[in-house]
Amino acid sequence: MTNFIEIDQFFDRKMDESIQELSKLIAQPSISATGVGLQECAQLVVSMFNKRGFRVYEFSNGIAPILFAEKEGKCEKTILFYNHYDVQPAEPIELWNSPPFKPEVRDNRLYGRGTCDNKGNITNRLFTLDAFEEVIGEYPCHVKFLIEGEEEVSNKHLADFVKEHSSLLMSDACIWEFGGVDHTGIPVQYLGLRGCCYVQLDVEVANQDVHSGIGGSIFPNAAWRLVWALNSLKSQDEKILLPNFYEKVIPPSKRDIELMDQLPDESNYYKELYGIKGFLKGIQSGTGLKIAEAFEPACTICGLTSGYQGAGSKTILPAKASAKIDFRLVPDQTPSDVLKQLREHLDNQGFNDVIITDLGGDLPERTDPDDPFIQILVSTAEEVYGSPMRIMPMTGGSGPNYIIQQALRIPIGTMGVGYPEANSHAPNENIRLDDYLKAAKHLARALQKFGES
Amino acid sequence: MTNFIEIDQFFDRKMDESIQELSKLIAQPSISATGVGLQECAQLVVSMFNKRGFRVYEFSNGIAPILFAEKEGKCEKTILFYNHYDVQPAEPIELWNSPPFKPEVRDNRLYGRGTCDNKGNITNRLFTLDAFEEVIGEYPCHVKFLIEGEEEVSNKHLADFVKEHSSLLMSDACIWEFGGVDHTGIPVQYLGLRGCCYVQLDVEVANQDVHSGIGGSIFPNAAWRLVWALNSLKSQDEKILLPNFYEKVIPPSKRDIELMDQLPDESNYYKELYGIKGFLKGIQSGTGLKIAEAFEPACTICGLTSGYQGAGSKTILPAKASAKIDFRLVPDQTPSDVLKQLREHLDNQGFNDVIITDLGGDLPERTDPDDPFIQILVSTAEEVYGSPMRIMPMTGGSGPNYIIQQALRIPIGTMGVGYPEANSHAPNENIRLDDYLKAAKHLARALQKFGES
């Protein structure tokens, strides 16, 4: 049996080095929405794996290479890590307290775009493996990494890649890209993700903006067309109005509700963190809030653009208007169903002038909370955090885990460096250094037990 | 009686010099929405009047000085020109074929921000006066200019200025800032302007943007709140839904409809110019279109801003959203009534979270088409354009002419260098050089007759 005293000492001793490696990775922008820095960041990741003696495979797709790395360990039992090196855009830049791509430690937190989502989890996993290499001389199991660069833009090339290379990826279990503690400091096993259907809606009514004094009463206005079209998608009581939208929705099971019930109430925490006054649909707190967050579909306007947006007034009638819309889906809804429903709905409502652009989608997916691998991740947390992981049977986010699960049919668990104030996708993204350290200690114990299982 | 042969020869000979003077004025940005270059532009205008021996008065208001200039002529009859040296923002810059503040002649047109609205009219009027100075040795009447720098931002300081300095401004008649020919090349006497109430609507629901995977189903979304609030303002059949909004609307008189009926049909012209498929409210063409354009109020969304507006997808729930809205008003609607109605309406509809910022307003105003001064402007066009001016009894635009009229009680006519494709307030603003020349010739005849009247 491995003695974790030396392993933990390694973590304490080498923490700064790992944070330096992470900082270098953050300093290399890799924004998949705009394409900035993807190749350069992929090369940086490749060098990190080469340095450690992994066999690294780089699969080019002309945009953001998919990386695969593997290295043998003490046994043939194989763990697959899924991560991504791309990040969300940093806008609005002016809301950051330090530059998003100049990582900075303040108050025992590391700030920078990608600290939590997802670069911090890449270096943290390598940090854990380094401990085994130095203290034991070998990894506790066979290790594979699948790291892509299009996670934030709906994983455009992942599905084809996984289908084509399923034998290369074959493993006994998978640890997903993210994870972390809740606001009480206890780590959460996030199981299952909602699906996503992300579209842009565009309206164009003229070849140029027109003086509103001339056209206001007689010309079509792209912004008005868009507002009316959007208004038709969701009523003020949050009911999504696409035809048959709710038809395939599977409500949470008794076991789901039981697990949700065991999770702490986050209502006051959310209110304070985000400065919001209350929740939608008349929900106050408790299990109802948790169920609505993860087990109900959503239709979110992520962005609106039209006409004049500068200071003061400009009296124009906009020729163009557009909105970015994110539908979150629960089993068994699918992005392709939603695209069809959306087109049908807009046509039915008289909005055939609204153009839909599909910006990508994910299927919803679930994982069995009672799988033995999941139980290893859950139980090994106790030694580090003083409590086993809490199990969240479904989460509100989305991702491509359905791709892995459909291809490999293995359990997929989550663990990582995150915490609720990490501001993933928002200004001032950060991780707490203490979480980073604990995540490595937890993962070391989980991998050891997995190798022995 | 003045012989216009020599005057017209002056115009033909000195045309290039006047266009150079105009180009210099355009090259000095003066964007009142952002405050860029206002002081510098005012100084340039002052120097143009000083050079010509005007007495120039500069009234500072800390933002954009109001300029007054006067010079005696052959008789005591006094004409007042109202102009402005500020311009609209040039955005979206990428749609300009040449830089907005580097004036350029192409195809006998001068391109640049402010060519038509309103710098071209300032230099054109000076060009006309220069002809009298050189050919006759004196102006045909007493000349006053009132030139401000906040016309595009609702003339914030003009009303107080006019009230305070009404004796300085006292005149027999006024020629307004703009004017020009219609798409058949015949000049139009624009009489009357709609009022305007320009507001910004802001919604803020959280202290930061939130990951849409977390918040989509449970957190308020500023963009949705804004869309629903906007939707409540106007129905898809263009009916403005504020309480009592239409109560004070005075429909056009028989004489108004008769004058509108004499104007050419602009429906096909508008469709071709702006690339629009049709008009609102089921109107096809003809007098109905002209009446709707000028005699009906409007509610225009001039701009929308919220969340992510870059390329591709970003899965956020926006904390803030805002819209710029321009209400066009007809007699006897007032901006202050509309502000009250808007607040009341939003509160009634459950949108007390929507903040209204008043960005300025104008009262609607009308001028008698049968006033003798107006008839001078109309009839003197014939010698230059081969036709008297057409009379438009009301126009869709807005401006501060109600301020002058309430203070001085004089007729206000329009004439100028514009044409329908001038793209005022839009990219590629321009004037035709031929229109510029004709406008000077017309104004010379009108001023001569005015002096003799």
> Which tens digits make up the pLDDT trace of A385-409?
999 999 999 999 988 889 998 899 9
Interface of B with A in 111-150 (CB under 8 A): none
Helices in A111-189 by DSSP H: which ranges?
119-135, 158-164, 166-169
pLDDT of residue A183: 85
Query: pLDDT at position B2, please?
Result: 62
Window B:220-249, CB contacts with A under 8 Å? 220-221, 223-224, 226-228, 230-231, 234, 236, 238
Average pLDDT on A23-28 reads 98
pLDDT in the model for residue A264:
87
Contacts of A297 in chain B (CB under 8 A): 217
Least confident span in B222-236, B258-272, B316-330: B258-272
Task: Give B199's Cβ-side CA count (13 Å radius).
Answer: 21
Band (B258; pLDDT cuts 50, 70, 90): very high
Label residue A86 by pLDDT band (50, 70, 90).
very high
Element containing residue A7 per DSSP (H, E): helix A4-27
Across the range B35-41, mean pLDDT stands at 97
Q: At what angle do helices B286-295 and B254-262 cross, to 10 degrees?
A: 120
More confident residue, B198 or A155: B198
> Is A3's pLDDT higher than 90?
no
Which of B324, B330, B353 to probe by mutation at the A interface, max A CB count within 10 Å?
B324
CA–CA gap between residue B400 and residue A231 (Å, rounded):
36
Of B88, B218, B318, the CB nearest to A303: B318
A423 touches chain B (CB under 8 A): yes
pLDDT at B399: 84
SS (H, E, C) B130-189: HHHHHHCCCCCCEEEEEEECCHHHCCCCHHHHHHHCHHHHCCCEEECCCCEECCCCCEEE
Evaluate if residue B1 carries a pLDDT over 80.
no
Structure token digits, residue B263: 């104007």
Averaged pLDDT for residues A184-194 = 94
Write out pLDDT tens, residues B165-185: 999 999 999 999 999 999 889
Is it the case that residue B425 has pLDDT exceeding 90? no
What does the pLDDT average to over B178-203? 94
Q: What number is the average pLDDT over the span A225-239?
A: 98
Share of chain A above pLDDT 90, in %: 91
The domains of chain A, with CATH numbers, are 4-193+365-452 (3.40.630.10), 195-249+297-362 (3.30.70.360)
A290 inside 8 A of chain B by CB: no
Indicate if the pLDDT at residue B311 is higher than 80.
Answer: yes
Mean pLDDT of B404-428: 94
- Report pLDDT digits (tens) over A352-390: 999 999 998 899 999 889 899 999 999 999 999 999 999
- What's the pLDDT band for A61 if we cut at 50, 70, 90? very high
Q: Which of B152, B301, B307 sits opposite A303 (nearest CB)?
A: B307
Q: Which residue has the higher pLDDT, B350 or B269?
A: B350
Q: Please write down the HEC assignment for all residues of chain B.
A: CCCHHHHHHHHHHHHHHHHHHHHHHHCCCCECCCCECHHHHHHHHHHHHHHCCCEEEEECCCCCCEEEEEECCCCCCEEEEEEECCECCCCCHHHCCCCCCCCEEECCEEECCCHHHHHHHHHHHHHHHHHHHHHCCCCCCEEEEEEECCHHHCCCCHHHHHHHCHHHHCCCEEECCCCEECCCCCEEEECCECEEEEEEEEEECCCCCEEHHHHCCCCCCHHHHHHHHHHCCECCCCCECCCCCCCCCCCCCHHHHHHHHHCCCCHHHHHHHHCCCCCHHHCCCHHHHHHHHHHCCEEEEEEEEEECCCCCCCCEECCEEEEEEEEEECCCCCHHHHHHHHHHHHHHCCCCCCEEEEEEEECCECCCCCCHHHHHHHHCCHHHHCCCCEEECCECCCCCHHHHHHHHCCCEECCCCECCCCCCCCCCCEEEHHHHHHHHHHHHHHHHHHHHC
How many beta-carbon pairs under 8 angstroms link A with B?
A: 330
The minimum CA-CA distance between A396 and chain B, rounded to whole Å, is 5
CB B449 within 8 A of CB B384: no
Q: What is the DSSP letter of A233?
A: T
Give the pLDDT confidence of B219-250 residue by residue, as tens digits. 999 999 999 999 999 999 999 999 999 999 99
From the candidates B217, B268, B329, which should be mutated to test the interface with A, based on the most A CB atoms within 10 A? B217
The alpha-carbon gap from A228 to the nearest alpha carbon of chain B, in Å, equals 6
Mean local confidence (pLDDT), A161-175:
96
> Which run of H or of E encompasses A305?
strand A298-307
- B102-154 confidence digits (pLDDT tens): 999 999 999 999 999 999 999 999 999 999 999 999 999 999 999 999 998 87
Tell me the nearest-neighbour CA distance from B319 into chain A, angstroms. Answer: 9
Q: Would the pLDDT of A2 be above 80?
A: no
Minimal Cα distance from B240: which residue of A?
Answer: A217
pLDDT band at A1 (very low <50, low <70, confident <90, very high): low
| Interface contact B183, partner A, CB < 8 A | no
In this complex, is the C-beta atom of A218 within 8 Å of any C-beta atom belonging to chain B?
Answer: yes
Q: Is B153 on the interface with A (CB under 8 A)?
A: yes
CB contact under 8 A, A324 and B313: yes
The predicted model gives B51-65 an average pLDDT of 96
Residue B201 in this model has a pLDDT that exceeds 90: yes
What is the pLDDT, as a whole number, of residue A160? 94
> What three-state secondary structure class fits A418?
strand
A348 in Cβ contact with A240 (< 8 Å): no
Q: Which residues of B touch A395 (CB under 8 A)?
A: 213
